[in-house]
Structure 1
Amino acid sequence: MFKIMIVEDDETIRDTISDTLQKWNFETFTTTDFTETLNNFIAEKPHLVLLDINLPVYDGFYWCQKIREISKAPILFISSRNTNMDMVMAMNMGGDDFVNKPFSIEVLTAKINAILRRTYNYADQAIDAIQHNNVILNLKDGSATVGEQHIDLSKNEYKLLHLLMKNHGKIISREKLLRGLWDDERYVDDNTLTVNINRLRKKIEQAGAVGYIETKVGQGYIIP
């Protein structure tokens, strides 16, 4: 069982997150004395920290820096401060991801599972998802999420996105993508792949992830 440490001074938000995560079989620990955040972390040894930025005494950036001095445990910022500078600072301080308030509890849970999977390589959790940058692919229902935007995918769009996200940073040839969609690509019009890629790209870009899938002329496609 994974333990999640919640550092959030809003009691309603803190309790909602804690109750939801416990329903997904996570163990949770909530900090209420915000002068003891680092000591609580050391004592509890959580697998992941949910960290607000605006906190009493010291802000989340301070505690992130302190935790990073002694641990590589993933840190997910949750905050109403959503400027580019806040997000850049969160990542530069050692944060692994950033969720804006108000947020969907389902999206937050999916992000937590994705970070834990990436960090600890676990396979059999309640929610199966792949995450890269701001896009989450839900492997259970074949849908995707960009930030707070939900995307319904066709079967082929899901297969394409799954293959590209699993291999992000690598160029995937058109031939390999065709094999991923159909058993024998020789009997498929090459234009069919182009149509599916264009539809997938349009859906993702309309949800806010502009330029997420890049075309490499004469080579294939890549999610950088």
Structure 2
Amino acid sequence: MYKLLIVEDEMNIANTLKNHFEKYNYDCHIVEDFERVLDTFQEFQPHLVIMDINLPAFDGYYWSRKIRQVSNCPITILSARMSELDQVYGIENGADDFITKPFLMDVVLAKVNGQIRRVYGEYAQDLNNRTLKKGNTTLNLDTFRLFTHEQETTLTIKELQLSSVLFEALPNVVTRQQLLAAIWDDETFVEENTLTVNIVRLRKKLEAIQSSLEITTIRGIGYQLTEKSL
């Protein structure tokens, strides 16, 4: 049974989510003390976190960042604040996906099911026990690490999945549709800017570790991972 941690201070929404997911055999826990979100996370050990942004004490960005320091557990942001800047900031703080309020329960269920399948279910088996190396850069699919001889960084789940697709396709171009289909179970439910902001974050991490690789935007088509010219 997969476990969901619901971090939502509007109790009617939290209980609606809990009741709905329990119908589909999820074990759900609602955070009650919003000053102990990380403690609750570590005690409950969920497979996925549904995180609101506007919370008492500290906001959801803060808690996403804290969780990401100790775990690669998927974090899905649930908020009415879903401008492009909010999405960028959410990803910068460790979020993997976004759901905008007001929402349809079928959309929330589809997104969570897709995340669970990608990370833990039948689609996760291809990520086991593999290391990919291109140029001076190695991608470890078990530890979520991207590294060179100089430096290393830890990836979020979406960054790991994007990296895997781009590494395996190098030097071929990967279309936006191919990336959406590979990374999100149903691209119909993906916010328009989610892929773009994940690509931007991954580019920054490649630069930070002095990678010889770079992600090039192929206008109107998609993205290409290439080695920089010396």
* TM-score (norm: length of structure 2): 0.57
1:146 to partner: Cα distance: 4.0
CA contact (8 A) 1:5 1:49 kept: yes
Alignment of 1:59-208 (within 5 A): 59-122=59-122, 132=180, 137=186, 145-146=188-189
- Alpha-carbon distance in structure 1 between the residues aligned to 2:91 and 2:56: 21
Structure of higher CA gyration radius = 1
Aligned CA RMSD, in angstroms, stands at 3.2
Gaps in structure 1 of 5+ consecutive residues? 124-129, 138-143, 149-213, 216-221
Measured in 1, the distance between the counterparts of 2:179 and 2:54 equals 26
Which structure would you say has the larger RCO, counting Cα contacts within 8 Å and 6 or more residues apart? Answer: 2
Is this contact kept in 1: 2:6–2:31, CA < 8 A? yes
> CA shift at 1:92, angstroms?
1.2
TM-fit CA distance, 1:32: 1.2
The Cα offsets for residues 174-203 of structure 1, whole Å up to 9 and x where unpaired, read as xxxxxxxxxxxxxxxxxxxxxxxxxxxxxx
1:69 aligns to what SS in structure 2? helix
Change (3 A) 1:49 1:135: closer
8 Å CA contact 1:114, 1:131 repeated in 2? no
Question: Which secondary structure does the structure 2 equivalent of 1:34 belong to?
Answer: coil
> Which structure 2 segments of 5+ residues have no match?
124-177, 192-219, 225-230
Equivalence for 1:8: 8
1:136: Cα distance to partner? 5.2
Corresponding residue of 2:34:
34
Q: Structure 1 length as normaliser, TM-score?
A: 0.58
Quickly say closer, same or farther: Cα 1:66–1:105, change in 2 above 3 A: same
Counterpart residue type for residue 65 of structure 1: R
Q: Distance in 2 between matches of 1:14 and 1:131?
A: 32
For residues 104 and 29 of structure 2, the distance between their equivalents in structure 1, rounded to whole angstroms, comes to 20
> What residue identity is the alignment partner of 2:95?
G
8 A contact 2:4–2:49 mirrored in 1: yes
Q: CA deviation at 1:223?
A: 8.8
Secondary structure at the aligned position of 2:49 is classed as strand
The count of aligned residue pairs is: 147
For 1:145, the aligned partner's letter is T
Offset of 1:131 from its aligned partner? 9.0
In structure 1, what is the Cα distance between the partners aligned to 2:25 and 2:63? 26
1:87 corresponds to which letter in structure 2?
Q
SS across alignment from 1:12: helix
CA distance in 2, matches of 1:223, 1:112: 26
